[in-house]
Amino acid sequence: MPARRQLLRAGLGLAATLSFIAGAEAAVTSARLVRDGRAARLSLALGQGAEWRLSALLRPARLLLSLPGNTWRAATRLSGAGPVAGARWDGRQLVIDLTGAVDVRASSQGGTLVLEIAPGGMSGYANLARSGLSGRVGGATAAGRPAAASAPGNRPLVVLDPGHGGKDPGTIGVRGTQEKRITLAAATELKRQLEAGGRCRVMLTRSRDVFIPLDGRVEFARKRGATLFISLHADSAPGARGASVYTLSDRASDALSARLAQTQNNADAAGGLKLPPVSPEVERILFSLVRQETKIGSARLAQFAVDSLGRSVTLLPNTHRQAAFAVLKAPEIPSVLVEMGFLSDRRDEASLNRAAYRAQLCRALTSAVNGWLERHEAGMASAG
């Protein structure tokens, strides 16, 4: 099952639990779906202040409307109109089947939530699938931001991936430093700094000295619906010194990047990622649009990181490089791999062993991540 759907189910399960705890006092007393020109207009009598949350699925094209704390007392089946093939209340959410990609506009009229569902472009729909819509009846609507966006549980999730671990020590430095220890120390510090900033939640793929296969690291981030994925390394490359940042590419940008990717991918016997099979043409296009967006998001994060690192630490020339790193292959999560330095270089090894240097490096990465999130949120707000 695709991770997005797993995530959605988990989220909806939680919403159902919360509404149960809240006592489910509010109720949906009427639901109407009518045609309006080429669009469909869905009106739900919810009551002033009721919270709603809309998610979009790509395969099949479908909207899911959840109404935390509301009981459904309206018709449980609505026949199709315009781009809506039909809608049904499944006991937990309103499932709105679509005939293709749509644009959705939400508004309130009194205590009624009105969704205008119009035929739309695929890239807009891919955006909707990525961020969703939510709001309160009578209040503002936000893309991807639930009503209580500032609550810690609703902040975007950044997954940090300390490279190697357990039976895989990674590179051994000139003076015997194990890469797996440096990556974990840096990830722990970066987590502390990011959390102190209050803009995101942070999880580590490992917080102990354990081995995790590469696809396990990717799946960790996908299952939790991460907004960003950052893998931290300090490998070896004869003659190379300084920090560098890598994004995914089928073709390596240079021999060093190719070799780094190959070494790391080999560290994992299970390497590679099993993507869910995608057959119908429309699904393929939607999927590739999401990937394209992910690629742009990854490149932007890499650029922010290079700019920010460049102001505080030594960089490897041509600092942003590309290669086929298996750990960067989540199709929907912008991902970068940071080589914080090379343990094969005596000076890098000495620096990376110092907590003060790692903190400095993490301040640069924190600033890059926060810059990226700020830009991302601004983009989503203008899209909504």
Closest listed residue to residue 382, CA positions, set 222, 41, 69, 143:
143
Tokens for 111? 């205590």
Those residues whose C-beta lies under 8 Å from the C-beta of residue 110, and which sit 6 or more positions away, are 48
- Tell me if 155 contacts Zn ion by CB under 5 A: no
Which is nearer to Zn ion, 170 or 341 (by Cβ)?
170
Of 236, 374, 235, give the one whose Cα is nearest residue 304.
374
Helical H runs in the chain?
A: 3-22, 122-131, 179-197, 214-223, 255-266, 281-310, 346-352, 355-383
Residue 202, CA distances (Å) to 161, 185, 292 in order: 11, 15, 25
Q: How far is the CB of 168 from Zn ion (least distance, A)?
A: 9
Residue showing the smallest CB distance to Zn ion in the complex: 233
Phi-psi region of 82 (alpha: psi -120 to 50; beta: other; left: phi over 0): left
Q: How far is the CB of 265 from Zn ion (least distance, A)?
A: 11
Indicate the residue among 163 and 384 with the shorter CB distance to Zn ion: 163
Closest to Zn ion by CB, 112 or 264: 264
Phi, psi dihedral angles at 45 (to 5 degrees)? -80, 105
SS3 for 375?
helix
Task: Note whether 271 and 214 are within 8 A (CB).
Answer: yes
* In the complex, least distance from residue 263 CB atom to Zn ion, rounded to whole angstroms: 8
Q: Which is nearer to Zn ion, 315 or 343 (CB)?
A: 343
CB of 167 to Zn ion, least distance (A): 14
* Binder among 170, 331, 334, 384 for Zn ion (CB under 5 A): 170
Scanning 86-94, 158-166, 207-215, 271-279 for contacts with Zn ion by CB under 5 A, the matching segment is 158-166
* Closer residue to Zn ion (CB): 165 or 225: 165
Taking residues 72 to 111 in sequence order and writing x for each that binds Zn ion by CB under 5 A, - otherwise, the string is ----------------------------------------
Nearer to Zn ion, 119 or 213 (CB): 213
Among 82, 132, 144, 163, which residue interacts with Zn ion (rule: CB under 5 A)?
A: 163
**161, 189, 235, 348: residue in contact with Zn ion (rule CB under 5 A):** 235
CB of 341 to Zn ion, least distance (A): 11
Q: Which residue stretch of 20-28, 93-101, 166-174, 353-361 sits at the interface with Zn ion (rule: CB under 5 A)? A: 166-174
- β pairing state of 243-248 and 335-339: antiparallel
Question: In the complex with Zn ion, which residue's Cβ is closer, 170 or 331?
Answer: 170
Is 201 near Zn ion (CB under 5 A)? no
Q: What is the Cα 38 distance to its own chain's centre?
A: 33
Q: What's CA 341's distance to the chain center, in Å?
A: 26
Question: And the tokens for 264?
Answer: 């790391």
Total of chain residues touching Zn ion, rule CB under 5 A: 4
- Polymer length in residues for the chain: 384
**Using rule CB under 5 A, residue 233 touches Zn ion:** yes
- Stretch of residues binding Zn ion (CB under 5 A), selected from 37-45, 103-111, 149-157, 160-168: 160-168
**What sign for the dihedral angle of Cα 88, 90, 94, 100?**
negative
Minimum CB separation from Zn ion for residue 186, in Å? 12
Binding site for Zn ion (CB under 5 A): 163, 170, 233, 235
